[in-house]
Structure 1
Amino acid sequence: MRQSKIFFNSQLALSHKLIVIQNIRDAVLTGGEEASRDEVLLAIVILATHDIVDVAEEKQMPFNSPLKKAQWLNFYGKIREVPEHVKAITDIVRLRGGIKSLKLPGLTEIIAGRDLISAVSSISKPAIPLTIRERHITSARVWATSPLRMPSQLLLASAFKRFVAYGMTDDMLEVFDSMGHVTMAIDYYVQGMPGSPTLGMIIRTRTAVQKLVMLLPTAEELELNISASSTPDIYECSRLTAIIFGMAVIFPVSNSYNVLQTLVQRLKAAIEVSRIKSTDECLDIFLWILVLGGIAALDKPERPWFVSQLALLTERSKEKLNWIEAEHRLRSFLWLESTCGAGGRCLWTEVLYLLL
């Protein structure tokens, strides 16, 4: 029906939609088990995710995101959901006793995916409780730590452990470790390297990992009084940067300009109160935070600020920091060259121009 374009308001599409709405209404009015059947829930999910499409696109994309079409993220990331439908989904799932009670094959994944897209697009906590996906994350860990992997790949996310004294929590380190594993899996798959995981494994794992990222508590929720501490606290800066990386590499939703705008604004504010600039011991992780924040700030008012901070950081480095050395350090945090490299080089050109 849709052919090469989406026509949600065509006469034929609307006629089907009205039939679905009438049938849902009849089921709800009937009450009892009929109102919460899996088929009714699926119909509401479809109504919620096939209503209003935001067709606007960014003029420039800060990240060359891989697998952005997997799970139709390039389409469903543009959907503006109807709040009434979303509330109905959440209420029915709760009344059923949680998402584990759903029996229709694939329905759990559909609801969890929709919920995660909504959470990422609004920078909020997922509304649907995390389903049991430990086996997917465990499988990715086993694959990533196999002796067959390249030593350079095993460096991903390894450097975060050096900053426990500066606010890194055990939960955050565990989430970042999982982000490193799925990033490595994506890299292998995109490059078509021998022994790469299947796309299905990557999709299941990335959904679980990105959900964990979004569930990390804010500094305020942890009641961290960062501004009152004399020691730098990088927790909130790292959490926000991880969300940016997740949107760039792991779960790249479409039309991310406004979301990234909010994130770089919050990241700039978090850096200002973190005291991260005050110690040379945090230079490497500060580099990671500034580079990812600076790339995300493409075409945004905050871009010059990130460029100026990177210029100051470069001048403070003991050795002359060029892009090759900078990217080498970034790889020990969370980084994927095929996704972030072009944006990073463009950002670094602006830094060098400022240093002239």
Structure 2
Amino acid sequence: MPSKRATASHSEYTFVNVDLASTERPRRTTQARAHTARVIRQRQTRDPSTQHATNARPANAVVPEMAGKTSSTSSARILAPAKSSTQSSQSPPITQEDGRSDESPENQHVAQKLPSPRPLSPVFGALTVDAFDAGTSGAAVEAADYCLNIDWPNLLTPEETTVWFQLFCKQPVIFHGFNYASATHGDILRNQVSRSSRRDMLAHKTQCFHLLRDLVANLDDDNVELVLFAVMIMWHYDLRDEEIGDTGSLPFVPHLPGANWLSVYGRTTGVEAHTRPLMNLLDRAGGIGNLKQPGLAFAISCGDLIAASIANEKPGLPLFWKDAPPVEEAANMLHMPPPTSCVGYGFVTLVPGGLPAVAVDALSEMCAVDALLGNARLRCLKARQNKMLVDVRNAAQYRLLSLPSWEELKEDDRTVRSRTAYELCILTAVLYSNAVIFPLPLNTGWHSRLITRIRDTIEHSALSSSSSDTSMLIWSLFIGGIAAYRSHDRAWFEMNLQAALARARIYRWNDAEMLLTAFMWSRVACSMGAAVLWDALDTEYKSRSTSVVAIRSQIAL
């Protein structure tokens, strides 16, 4: 950022164009300079302490008005080089060419008439050209650099990034919003509240809300998307104390842990107070599908999907990734082997009472996506390929969360199906997906809530005593037991898993893993956590089973 004025009459800064010709101060006349020097000498003579303070100031220091002094110039701050006391005492009285003293009233107001620099508009509001001096903060430059090089590249396409940066430069409400947002994003990455709590960042947040209030008060159709953009920023980036700190991790190995910044945005659940205005603005704009601002619909849809995954609720918006290709087509485009036709067959043949067709389709799709992501995790994909892979994943996650509740199923399905089996399959699939396929941080407690619901569902059913339901039950207990590592629920899962394995006469790890792969299971993602869980079984049971050392050796192979 330049700190000095260019010699040309027009200079282009990073964010705005400034016509410097109109901001130059007029050259001071001989009378003005003489008057300034005389006032300084008078003040030094009247108050020796002022003389000492003036001598201690650097050149070009600002000389504030003296308390208790009355003068026609005391209301203005005078900018002038400081002179030593020797020079001041030896300087002869300065008179004008016609012999009149410089103390004449018509010369007393010269310093007050000097104009201040023109404000930079519109981005910086009341800031002046002096804001670009070397001694001031480069927070705006830091925010722009952070957004362009860290935040947006993993979230947007290059074309969308260009449009967002133009808004950052031209729209004050977006400028202030992203200044605060970049500080919040960085604090989450550093795992400590530092920049977002600074006074200047809180000022950006406050100014963004003030501008939003003014825009909403005069809302018209042309500004709906601009207001929606600003509300989306503040909805995503409002940091709370519980979202900072060591959140730990589950004993799963996620496929794409950093895709679309899930590790960051997954820690902010969105401000509930902004949700209703966001939905109202979307209705005013004609729905998520009618938004014209590049990247805006995607960002809002991602936030909605993350919030739904954390709460295990249906998404509140229509499916944004409806154009994502099917899993088999995506595998062909990525030159990878497509998932086998038998993937997820356990949801078709091993669930007591069977599952409704809509549930079988959604769960089978998640199993296929799980296999696709497992094959892609070690490949070096281009940005376009990675985006397609993420779109396929997001669409599958959306359809899983959108499955109807038991009460919403058709009467025929509720008559012949098992409610416990239906709900247990969905709960376990969401737990697995949130840990492996759509990996979320743990600070929001989503895993604890799902583990508790899985345990309650099993305890209040007859599954634990029925030998015909052991396959699905073993899969659910394995996923829940791995996720309950180091929690108070872990012992309960270990005890019930051992009982279910004994009823199914499964004593070897290979037999257990073969059963698990019939459902939603990735060997790479789950094997280490499963090995620790298997090793925690009672000694008597382990004497007839494969040890953890053997399991880990199988993983290495």
* TM superposition score normalised by structure 1: 0.87
From 452, 458, 464, the counterpart of 1:271: 458
2:254 corresponds to 1:58: no
Shift of 1:307: 0.8
**Alpha-carbon distance in 2 for matches of 1:272, 1:145:** 44
Deviates more, 1:7-16 or 1:91-100: 7-16
Alignment of 1:140-159 (within 5 A): 140-144=327-331, 154-159=341-346
Partners of 1:34 and 1:25 in 2: CA distance: 16
CA 1:90/1:151 → structure 2, altered by over 3 Å: closer, same or farther? closer
Is residue 96 from structure 1 mapped to residue 285 from structure 2 by the alignment? Answer: yes
Partner of residue 208, structure 2: 20
Is 1:29 the counterpart of 2:217? The answer is yes
SS in 2 for 1:351: coil
Pair 1:346-2:532 in alignment? yes
Partner of 1:329: 515
Q: Deviations over 1:205-264 (max 9, x none)?
A: 11111111111123244488x999996841000010011011012211112572111111
Corresponding residue to 1:162 among 333, 345, 349:
349
On the 8 A contact 1:121/1:256 being kept in 2, the answer is no
Deviations 1:119-176 (A, max 9, x none): 1122222122323x343152x2334589x86698554312211146624111111111
Question: Which of residues 124, 128, 135 in structure 1 aligns to 2:323?
Answer: 135
Does residue 293 (structure 1) correspond to residue 483 (structure 2)? The answer is: no
1:255 and 1:329 map into 2 onto residues whose CA distance is 28
2:485 alignment partner, SS class: coil
Structure-1 residue corresponding to 2:180: none
Are the structure 2 counterparts of residues 191 and 263 from structure 1 closer, same or farther at C-alpha, using a change threshold of 3 Å?
A: same
SS at match of 1:191: coil
Cα pair 2:338 2:372 within 8 Å, conserved: no
Distance 1:149-1:80 versus aligned 2 partners, 3 A rule: closer
Contact 2:482/2:530 (<8 A) preserved: yes
The whole-number CA distance in structure 2 between the counterparts of 1:258 and 1:231 is: 28
Q: Is the 8 A contact 1:62 1:343 kept in 2?
A: yes
Q: C-alpha separation between the residues in 2 aligned to 1:216 and 1:333?
A: 18
* Conserved 8 A contact 2:249-2:442: no
The offset of 1:282, in angstroms, is: 2.8
User: What SS does the aligned partner of 2:377 have?
Assistant: helix
Gaps of 5+ in 1: none
- Residue 111 of structure 1, CA deviation: 0.5
Structure 1 residues 98-107 or 247-256, which shifts more?
247-256
1:355 is matched with 541
Q: Secondary structure at the match of 1:261?
A: helix
Deviates more, 1:173-182 or 1:320-329: 320-329
Counterpart of 2:448 (choices 255, 258, 261) is 261
Task: Give the match's secondary structure for 2:440.
Answer: coil
Q: Which segment drifts farther, 121-130 or 214-223? A: 214-223
Match of 2:307 among 114, 118, 143: 118
Q: Which has the higher mean CA deviation after the structures are superposed, 19-28 or 40-49?
A: 19-28
Counterpart CA distance in 2 for 1:165 and 1:310 is: 18
**1:82/1:215 Cα in 2 relative to 1: closer, same or farther (>3 Å)?**
same
Q: CA deviation at 1:32?
A: 2.7
Query: SS of the residue aligned with 1:79?
Result: coil
Assess, with a 3 A threshold, how the Cα gap between structure 1 residues 149 and 281 changes in structure 2: closer, same or farther.
farther
RMSD: 3.1
Whether 1:81 aligns to 2:267 is: no
Indicate which of 241, 259, 263 corresponds to 2:428. 241
How far apart are the structure 2 equivalents of 1:325 and 1:336? 15
Do the aligned residues in 2 keep the contact of 1:183 with 1:336 (CA within 8 Å)? yes
> Is this contact kept in 2: 1:125–1:215, CA < 8 A?
yes
How many residue pairs get aligned? The number is: 351
d(CA) in 1 for partners of 2:338 and 2:290? 43
Preserved CA contact (<8 Å) 2:250 2:435:
no
Among 288, 308, 332, the alignment partner of 2:495 is 308
Change (3 A) 1:60 1:109: closer
> Does structure 2 conserve the Cα–Cα contact (< 8 Å) formed by 1:137 and 1:178?
no
Rounded to whole Å, the distance in 2 between the matches of 1:112 and 1:221 is 24
**Residues in 1 aligned to 2:385 and 2:479: alpha-carbon distance in whole angstroms:** 28
Q: Amino acid of the residue matched to residue 534 of structure 2?
A: W
Of Structure 1 and Structure 2, which has the larger fraction of its residues in helix? 1
Amino acid at match of 1:161: V
| Identical residues among aligned pairs (%) | 26
Checking the alignment, whether the CA contact within 8 Å between 1:232 and 1:275 is kept in structure 2 is no
Q: CA deviation at 1:93?
A: 0.9
What are the Cα deviations for residues 72-101 of structure 1, in whole angstroms up to 9, with x where unaligned? 111111114221212211121123221111
| TM-score when normalising by structure 2 | 0.57
Are the equivalent residues in 2 in contact too, given 1:144–1:184 (CA < 8 A)?
no
Question: Residues 211 and 259 from structure 1, CA distance in 2 versus in 1: closer, same or farther, beyond 3 angstroms?
Answer: same
Please say if residues 155 and 331 of structure 1, whose CA atoms lie closer than 8 Å, have aligned partners that are also in contact. no
